[in-house]
Structure 1
């Protein structure tokens, strides 16, 4: 078998986040072809795209002005997540394809020490609303600002602490709809009067209730959202009247919701369901309830969807195991068999992605009999006569989910003779409220047991070498790696921790101030659960680690500060445990820049080849 070139796989490009221009004639999107994600635009029928931003840092997100071909976008520095908002507008007028042959970028917020999260334009296009930590790093306040480069922000209200976001202006621009995230399993919706700054709670409730995907209905008297207020394991679609606060359930669902949106007029609704990690799209006419035909979509995940202003087209960002993330378009209302047209061709780096591996959805038993879903990628040449090493990949979050999306790194490992198993341990999203909450606080280590049982399942597969299992994960997945190699040291030949938590006490003390309360709801409070947090922190169990380790971290990480990596690396070195440490000075919570990925991942491959693929089948880390 020819050894693949990791650099070639890393040079596969992706596009995402399609947005229709106000006149519907062009589509802007994000593309990482330059090595950092920038904004590009393309004619809706397909043409060579035009690059709109030329920055050294990746663009985090963007939106169109509702009436003019102008764009607001957000950028941070070196991954520090202190995002600033910028205005992109043409200096030589607009064309049929959008911005003309010259454009200008203006900094609207000018506070690089604060986080700014864009919310919405007013419908008349005169104002923007956003939340920011300008006054206090522990909370997001609500701001309104005129849409011109010289305008100053007006603070409308102080936030309740932690995450607060603007979801949109009411149709008459009188109110702002806000969402407060107390935790991933408990949220509230608020109404803010723009003129009086009066704040009204729309969703009073007891216990933990989710309110997600909220949007204004066209009459401006109600909002549409998904909620678990009915007590079911999966959310329901509901409306909430803004005056009476009355909640009416419109449709009960039997799967998680990835998205709920309306067309500009509100006549068409789009619902994205998550069925065992796969996306299911439903479109319908709201008044009649009649379903709108959609194209046949292969095994994939839809991450973005938008309906054109004239309601004739839909664009989606589509990713599957055999097709990298690209943007597709289809027409609605014209025939009963619409077809899917690919708009962007991000770049396959000369690889035949149609030959990439389609993973198997398996369910393995855990310690308490619970069936844990996982995606399994067998090594390309594995067989009972030629058992191969396997990399176990716990996702971050914890409330995330590994799904059958395009993953060039997984495919590289498969072609290089490794299998990959990506379990969605308890605490993962996508499987209902009970499963989501099954690892909260004192149940934290049950998810680590699930990870160990993934290894036990692998050891029973005849095509797997049970002595050559590695565990690799990032963020919360990095904690899972450290918890696995300390809690179950005999299972692993090597571990790779990317931006992971080593010490829950120092993590909670030093994570971004606005994140602390939200994270304490998930992991436990420093005030009431400190002893437990110390007990489960891998830093205090380093003596149990027997396998070689690799630790990767960005110096500017505001979520899991780089001190978490420094602690675990120092402890490993003191105990003479083999450890390779990669620190990137211009990165934050993960690696966003191609140059750093091209440096990091070849080193990761060499590490795995040395300590996993080519090691003797013994638990002695010296071999």
Structure 2
């Protein structure tokens, strides 16, 4: 078979952190297929010709001081670069990289200099740059192995903060940079905790530390003290997860997350002077984030409501919510305030349309769309909105899932299907536009995004059900995803595959190795295949997460037998179904050798395996040309092995190529 080049399912796999989920309602009934609808099928190029936008950081100046232009990053050129948009949506290009993605962070407060970040080909060694007003770039954090990020600005605009691991690869120290000349001062030498927030006046530093994957703490440091010391403010018994949302605009209060009082993260306040605590936001789902506007007039918050983020902007002065109009139903996010807090920029993402940017006045809430992310050549009515479904696993546990049914499917014309496995451990498949999923669905593949036990968003009990049980009970949740699909009207029960990236890629390989008769084909995108090696090769900047990760997955020095048992590499002789493996050569999380060895072992067993290596990508692919070729490759591979369409096949069952 000719070999394909493929896109990653997302940049994040091992996104370790506290996340929860809820007890669901009744199991959803099996889907009944609607009457089939003829739709135009589109090439992957059109789905990925969508122009992605991301606004500058919420902790920075996103609106220019000079003319009010909006700072953003966009991949309109094929890879992310920094741009500005005016109030009509007109774009001005600020950077022109063709190789490494560049992400806009913040304007300077008094001029049009800009803070940027960029890594090298997806290696995640991010540096902080200044773009001068003449367009030249200056690296503020040089060093081949130095990894840095922007923390934010002091309220007076004279100082910005950067964290960097230049002193110790395993931890981040905090530096204060003078805006006028970039001179800097080390203001906090870290001991392995995470820098979680800094008050606007520059006095209070919040640190977080995971003790286990279920238990964490918050520490405060008074940087104005003669001898700054860390103060534990979350002393507790048992397993409770704490996290930092933000400091209030007046620098008097810390807003933090805790799951102490139930299944979900609530937002609480801690008064920095008195130590008094009060609940701020309680919901039947996790509170995703909370932050003040720069003056404190507005409070922005969001909850993760059954795989869809619901946002609220509350006007403290008026005592009421800001109601936004002229926007589609969907997920509203990335709210950024202009300098005088009369307007906001934000984005809206729906299942059938990518993230578009909007501008709205806060007095009326009336919004104007600034971007058109979906190509005109795509009729949005041909695309499919997701449904939330639930199915029972082997032990009766309900598995919440995001389901897409092709419009051309019916009982008389059933379609093949895929179980889509998200990254993690601890990730979540959510609602919203995915070029890859919409391309698959448009070409006649039903997709079930299964949130197996261990997924975030459904309560802490659900989240921890897979601890030290990865590749076992959670794998059975995925197996039962196939059983669910077999009963869905409009799905061909004999043509069901599995696809996943990162931890989801591990689950693909595990399914084909440990349940070799369940799925008919699999696509493994930079998935872990040897947990012993992966846990031993954690990048140094993950030092603060190592204990929590070992607590969840196991310590390779102590749990070798179990980690070997769940690692697909050591059981690849059981893989018999067609497999497509995708890998980025610069991946620091799942090393290339993970995929190399799985491919070799499965082929030795006689399995048909295709392997595509991107020499210029890491853990999640940044270049549009790669993503386009990738999605076409998914469909080509699945057309051959699920639909049974003829394709030219290699006699040896596949070969390696390096994607250009």
Q: Do both proteins adopt the same fold according to a TM-score greater than 0.5, normalized to the shorter chain?
A: yes
Matched residue, 2:54? 16
Shift of residue 220, structure 1, vs aligned partner: 2.3
Matched residue, 1:345? 372
> How far apart are the structure 1 equivalents of 2:392 and 2:293?
43
Matched residue, 1:583? 613
Superposition pairs for residues 88-127 of structure 1, below 5 Å? 88-90=131-133, 102-127=134-159
> How far apart are the structure 2 equivalents of 1:272 and 1:329?
19
Superposition pairs for residues 367-378 of structure 1, below 5 Å? 367-378=394-405
Picking from 348, 363, 388, the partner of 2:415 is 388
Matched, 1:217 2:248: yes
Structure 2 unaligned segments of length 5 or more: list them.
1-37, 647-651, 654-660
Q: Which has the higher contact order (CA 8 A, sep 6+)?
A: 2
Matched, 1:594 2:621: no
Picking from 164, 178, 186, the partner of 1:132 is 164
> How far apart are the structure 2 equivalents of 1:498 and 1:59?
24
> How far apart are the structure 1 equivalents of 2:381 and 2:106?
33
SS in 1 for 2:136: strand
Picking from 431, 441, 447, the partner of 1:420 is 447
Instruction: State whether residues 395 and 474 of structure 1, in contact with CA within 8 Å, keep that contact through their aligned partners in structure 2.
Output: yes
Shift of residue 153, structure 1, vs aligned partner: 5.4
1:117 to 1:441, Cα distance in 2 relative to 1, 3 A: farther
Superposition pairs for residues 35-434 of structure 1, below 5 Å? 35-43=78-86, 45-55=87-97, 56-60=99-103, 62-90=105-133, 102-147=134-179, 151-152=183-184, 154=186, 156-160=188-192, 164-168=194-198, 170-181=199-210, 185-195=214-224, 196-230=227-261, 232-286=262-316, 289-295=319-325, 298-334=328-364, 338-348=365-375, 350-434=377-461
> How far apart are the structure 2 equivalents of 1:249 and 1:65?
35
Larger mean Cα displacement after TM superposition, 572-581 or 277-286? 277-286
Shift of residue 527, structure 1, vs aligned partner: 3.1
Instruction: State whether residues 382 and 464 of structure 1, in contact with CA within 8 Å, keep that contact through their aligned partners in structure 2.
Output: yes
Larger mean Cα displacement after TM superposition, 412-421 or 77-86? 412-421
Shift of residue 185, structure 1, vs aligned partner: 4.3
Shift of residue 585, structure 1, vs aligned partner: 1.0
Matched residue, 1:561? 591
> How far apart are the structure 2 equivalents of 1:413 and 1:150?
48
Shift of residue 199, structure 1, vs aligned partner: 2.8
Picking from 74, 78, 96, the partner of 1:31 is 74
TM-score, length-scaled by structure 1: 0.90
Matched residue, 2:10? none
1:456 to 1:297, Cα distance in 2 relative to 1, 3 A: farther
Matched residue, 1:522? 552
1:564 to 1:371, Cα distance in 2 relative to 1, 3 A: same
Q: Deviations over 1:350-374 (max 9, x none)?
A: 2122431112211111112121111
Matched residue, 2:469? 442
Matched residue, 2:484? 457
Shift of residue 285, structure 1, vs aligned partner: 2.9
> How far apart are the structure 1 equivalents of 2:467 and 2:328?
35
Matched, 1:510 2:537: yes
SS in 2 for 1:479: helix
> How far apart are the structure 2 equivalents of 1:150 and 1:358?
48
SS in 2 for 1:553: strand
1:297 to 1:311, Cα distance in 2 relative to 1, 3 A: same
Instruction: State whether residues 528 and 594 of structure 2, in contact with CA within 8 Å, keep that contact through their aligned partners in structure 1.
Output: yes
> How far apart are the structure 1 equivalents of 2:207 and 2:434?
34
Larger mean Cα displacement after TM superposition, 243-252 or 360-369? 243-252
> How far apart are the structure 2 equivalents of 1:354 and 1:63?
37
> How far apart are the structure 1 equivalents of 2:407 and 2:530?
38
Shift of residue 596, structure 1, vs aligned partner: 2.0
1:339 to 1:286, Cα distance in 2 relative to 1, 3 A: closer
1:397 to 1:300, Cα distance in 2 relative to 1, 3 A: farther
Aligned residues: 599
> How far apart are the structure 2 equivalents of 1:464 and 1:383?
8
Q: Deviations over 1:544-600 (max 9, x none)?
A: 222111110111111111121112111112212111111111110021112222333
Superposition pairs for residues 449-488 of structure 1, below 5 Å? 449-488=476-515
Shift of residue 479, structure 1, vs aligned partner: 0.9
Instruction: State whether residues 531 and 567 of structure 2, in contact with CA within 8 Å, keep that contact through their aligned partners in structure 1.
Output: yes
SS in 1 for 2:517: helix
SS in 1 for 2:85: strand
Instruction: State whether residues 56 and 106 of structure 2, in contact with CA within 8 Å, keep that contact through their aligned partners in structure 1.
Output: no
Instruction: State whether residues 84 and 112 of structure 1, in contact with CA within 8 Å, keep that contact through their aligned partners in structure 2.
Output: no
TM-score, length-scaled by structure 2: 0.85
Matched residue, 2:42? 4
SS in 1 for 2:171: coil
> How far apart are the structure 2 equivalents of 1:46 and 1:521?
51
Larger mean Cα displacement after TM superposition, 278-287 or 146-155? 146-155
1:174 to 1:585, Cα distance in 2 relative to 1, 3 A: same
> How far apart are the structure 1 equivalents of 2:622 and 2:307?
24
Shift of residue 442, structure 1, vs aligned partner: 3.1
SS in 1 for 2:47: helix
Larger mean Cα displacement after TM superposition, 45-54 or 471-480? 45-54
Matched, 1:571 2:601: yes
> How far apart are the structure 1 equivalents of 2:70 and 2:572?
51
> How far apart are the structure 2 equivalents of 1:194 and 1:439?
40
> How far apart are the structure 2 equivalents of 1:598 and 1:221?
49
